[in-house]
Amino acid sequence: MMAAMTGTGTATLRILMVVLAAACASAAAAHTGSVAGGFVGGLAHPVFGLDHVVAMVAVGLWGAFLGAPAIIVLPIVFPLVMAAGGVLGILGVPLPGVEIGIAASAIVLGLMVVFAVRPPLWTAAVLVGAFAIFHGHAHGAELPPGADALAYSAGFVIATGLLHLAGIALGLLTRWPAGSVAVRAAGGLIAGVGAFFLVRLA
Amino acid sequence: MRLLLAMALVLLASPAYAHPPPIGIGGFWGGLLHPYFVTAHAAAIVALGLLVGQQGWGRVTPIAFIGALMAGLGLIALAVVPRYANEALLVLAAICGLLAALAKPLPEPVGIALGVLTGIAVGLDSPPEVLSVREANLMLIGTGLGASLFLVLAIEGASKLTQPWQRIGARVVGSWIAAAAILVLALSFSR
């Protein structure tokens, strides 16, 4: 009986040791987080926010409408200004009306495309830059501290750039009359989505 | 049943990685792959390569990088414990990415200075996490070779981007690297 109890006790102890070892196993990382997981997470992050997606596509669409040099300047400047907004978000600097700003960016940029507005480059850059601050702030505040932060940031910056590129590619349809109508209709759709998000916030 | 339960728990436990991607690869090959899989190293080296290739600087910058890299690895071999090497790499990635995005002509000494700083930071941020001295030395040799080869490939690739749209693409990639590095720097200083 005693021997049987001792045997059971030893088995329980062994299992407890295995459980403890399993619970204690953690990533002894010199460079923390998974690079692949961080990158994919960052890449997916802007794609799953419809308000972000439509605004980014609108930036590309409007850039294509404005032509050179805006079509070149916007994809280079936007990530940098967005990073400045991201820094504010990470550091916890409050920015009033972030979600309203994001929804407004879709409405304003969508309407710019609908009405084919062609302001001077600096006006367009300031307008897009101001909206980039809101988008960056939202992304920065949501940056996960656990995963490989650089891979995650690179992922979402690249995803943002690819959404611009999609907008630019779609905007190139303006070379044809029917394409121009389609692009302006897409601008209307973007403004509508922005209005939906704004109403939902109210 | 108990054994199955114990095995399931062991399988559910997170793996203990030294460096995430080249899992299980140690020694020379682990060191060789290290700069390609550690994001801050890859970002700094690619940004420097983009800038050097874009500016059309000669061989002095990569030679300065390799010299400084060897010095950094030598310091690691002498058991120097670096501080803020990773943050320094992020700063350098941001500077090189920003300069590549701006695409303004710059004097070559700027490239040499950036090459020296990046090389030493990569070297100091590559301490081998192994117990045997022989394996540690092999890893350091591998890291030196891998990082040097990485920079040469990045410069060669960037110098081939001669079409206008390719040059714009290089500037966009520079801005992406700078933006990502700035965000992570802010994150590391906010902790």
Among B17, B176, B188, beta carbon nearest to A29: B17
pLDDT top residue among B26 and A182: A182
Query: Is this prediction's pTM over 0.80?
Result: no
For chain B, what percent of residues have pLDDT higher than 90?
A: 57
Q: A with B: how many residue pairs have Cβ under 8 Å apart?
A: 134
Task: Kindly report the nearest CA distance between residue B63 and chain A, in angstroms.
Answer: 27
Which residue in chain A has the smallest CA separation from B2?
A15
In a domain, A17, yes or no: no
Among B37, B127, B175, beta carbon nearest to A80: B175
In a domain, B12, yes or no: no
Inter-chain residue contact B180 with A82, CB threshold 8 Å: no
**Average pLDDT over every residue of B19-25:** 53
Number of domains present in the structure of chain B: 1
Q: DSSP characters for chain A?
A: -HHHHHHHHHHHHHHHHHHHHHHH-----SS-S-HHHHHHHHHHTGGG-HHHHHHHHHHHHHHHHH-TTHHHHHHHHHHHHHHHHHHHHHTT---TTHHHHHHHHHHHHHHHHHTT----HHHHHHHHHHHHHHHHHHHHHT--SSS-HHHHHHHHHHHHHHHHHHHHHHHGGGGSHHHHHHHHHHHHHHHHHHHHHHHHH-
In a domain, B50, yes or no: yes
In a domain, A164, yes or no: yes
What ipTM was reported for this prediction? 0.73
Q: Is the pLDDT of residue B15 over 80?
A: no
Cβ-Cβ contacts under 8 Å, A149 against chain B: 183-184, 187-188
In a domain, A16, yes or no: no
Cβ-Cβ contacts under 8 Å, B171 against chain A: 76
In a domain, A51, yes or no: yes
Task: Give the model confidence (pLDDT) of A24-72 as tens digits.
Answer: 333 333 444 455 567 887 888 778 888 889 989 999 888 888 887 888 8
Task: Give the model confidence (pLDDT) of B77-88 as tens digits.
Answer: 888 888 889 899
Which residue in chain A has the smallest CA separation from B44?
A150
What b/e string do you get for B9-19 counting C-beta neighbours within 10 Å, with b at 16 or more?
A: beeeeeeebbb
In a domain, B123, yes or no: yes
Inter-chain residue contact B13 with A25, CB threshold 8 Å: yes
In a domain, B135, yes or no: yes
Inter-chain residue contact B38 with A31, CB threshold 8 Å: yes
Which residue in chain B has the smallest CA separation from A31?
B19
Task: Give the model confidence (pLDDT) of A136-183 as tens digits.
Answer: 898 887 776 666 777 888 888 888 889 988 998 888 888 888 888 999
**In the prediction, which pLDDT does A35 show?**
55
Cβ-Cβ contacts under 8 Å, B9 against chain A: 18-19, 22-23
Amino acid at site A176:
W
In a domain, A100, yes or no: yes
Which residue in chain A has the smallest CA separation from B182?
A83
**In the prediction, which pLDDT does A2 show?**
42
In a domain, B3, yes or no: no
Which residue in chain B has the smallest CA separation from A8?
B2
In a domain, A2, yes or no: no
In a domain, B17, yes or no: no
Q: Which residue segment(s) compose the domain that A70 sits in?
A: 33-201
In a domain, A67, yes or no: yes
Q: Is the pLDDT of residue A23 over 50?
A: no
Q: Which residue segment(s) compose the domain that B144 sits in?
A: 25-190
Inter-chain residue contact A35 with B20, CB threshold 8 Å: yes
In a domain, B2, yes or no: no
